[in-house]
Amino acid sequence: MKTLEQLKQAHHQQKTTRNDVTLRIHRALSWLERAEKSDDADGRFIFLWIAFNAAYANETGEQRVSDGEQYNQFLWRLLERDNEKQIEQIIWQEYTNAIRVLLDNPYVFQPYWNHHNHIPGYENWQTSFNKAKQAAQLALMNKDTAKVINIVFNRLYTLRNQIVHGGATWNSSVNRDQLRDANKILGKIIPVIIDILINSVEQDWGKACYPVINP
């Protein structure tokens, strides 16, 4: 995995006419740098997620596309272009540590919260929770990286919603475990995502959100 400085240098040496891609990389690097300077878990997670968002989000115009659909499509494309299998290595190396623990945590499983919010149809959230863990374990056995990373990022997205939408207290004692594991995972995957983008700069990654417009 490349360091922040190595990524910045590689980005600086790029030569491409695809400004949307370079804008994504530039923004993602800036938020990754801010995340690495953060001295608290909440701030680090938020900055890492913004770096991820800067990398994947597209301007879709009138056609509404959910965040989940966008980032899942983005992750699939990354895996196709990850010639060095960096993401796969992270998944296998971290599965028995941060990833397994994250998947065992019901507080980042959205159906759990849907049940506690009395939304009909989620009474059997525990069954769904166990099936999701089994699916991840089966995907791991079959070396289905795409399936594992999809499940992991769905959990991370629930944590993102909790924090960004004010559903958690800063520096709270009740969500330290999931933040710790989320930061371990994102802290390793975000630099790899940026590295793959740098190496795939001639690909069309879509129109970046809120492009820079000169007055």
In a domain, 207, yes or no: no
In a domain, 59, yes or no: yes
In a domain, 209, yes or no: no
Query: Into how many domains does the chain fold?
Result: 1
Q: HEC string of 4-35?
A: HHHHHHHHHCCCCCCHHHHHHHHHHHHHHHHH
The identity of residue 13, as a single letter, is Q
Domain that holds residue 14: 4-199
**pTM, to two decimals:** 0.92
**pLDDT tens per residue across span 49-81:** 999 999 998 875 544 557 788 888 999 999 999
Please report, for residues 29, 55, 107, the alpha-carbon distance to residue 179 in angstroms, rounded to integers and kept in the order given. 21, 21, 11
Mean pLDDT along residues 162-181: 89
**pLDDT tens per residue across span 74-105:** 999 999 999 999 999 998 888 778 888 888 99
CA distance 68 to 150: 9
What's the mean per-residue pLDDT of the chain? 90
In a domain, 204, yes or no: no
In a domain, 141, yes or no: yes
Contact of 24 with 54, CB cutoff 8 Å: yes
**Lowest mean pLDDT across 17-21, 64-68, 116-120, 205-209:** 64-68
